[in-house]
Copies of this chain bind each other. A is one copy, B any other.
């Protein structure tokens, strides 16, 4: 880990970046500027591991650049990837309960912007809109983990992969942004099973060339959709959408 002193140019970039975060939506520029002044920039290197306990990491973090995974692991060494975090994601270990240990494993060199728990709590106290935004963030987080549990428990291997491909399509324009082994771990399966599932999906008209996803027709992944996923799709509830 490395603390970065911010020069004026980079500070401007960071301010722009932060202003677009939904947690800061509808807050006056003056309040924001004051708050942003307390920003810290930290960098982590590829392959670093950090245990994000609430005591030492009592901050609110924004992923400005890079890639890491939030993982839980057991004594056997098996690991659960709870979240893949890359650009624009937020993580708030300051809200973790005491004794809860979870690891951040950095997959690529990563730059985080962070705010201390005290500063965040000050803003919550002072600015009602911000506290609503924090509530919104945590509510979304709760729901994401409910859906994550659902994915782990209810979906078949093939459905998991189909669901992941669909989300990739909706967000990232048909190519894998992360190593396949990372995706496999996030979906709760081995790289072997992931690879075999990709092969299986050829029967559905879904073809994979290295990182590229090719679809026989645009709706080939729709069978793996659900309403909460679909809401971000361009075609949601239009004529062509299964949920219309």
Residues on A lying within 8 angstroms of B by beta carbon are 72-74, 78-80, 82, 92, 95-102, 124-125, 128, 131-132, 134-135, 138-143, 145-150, 152-155, 188, 227-228, 230-231
Contact = CB atoms under 8 A, between A and B. Distances in A.
A134 B95 CA distance: 12
Contacts of A97: 139-140, 143, 228
A73 B131 CA distance: 33
Q: Which of A92, A135, A147, A231 has the most CB of B within 10 A?
A: A135
Contacts of A98: 231
Contact of A154 (B74, B95, B139, B148): B74
A212 to B, nearest CB: 29
Given A80-B153, A154-B78, A132 B124 contact: yes
Given A149-B152, A152-B153, A154-B72, A100 B135 contact: no
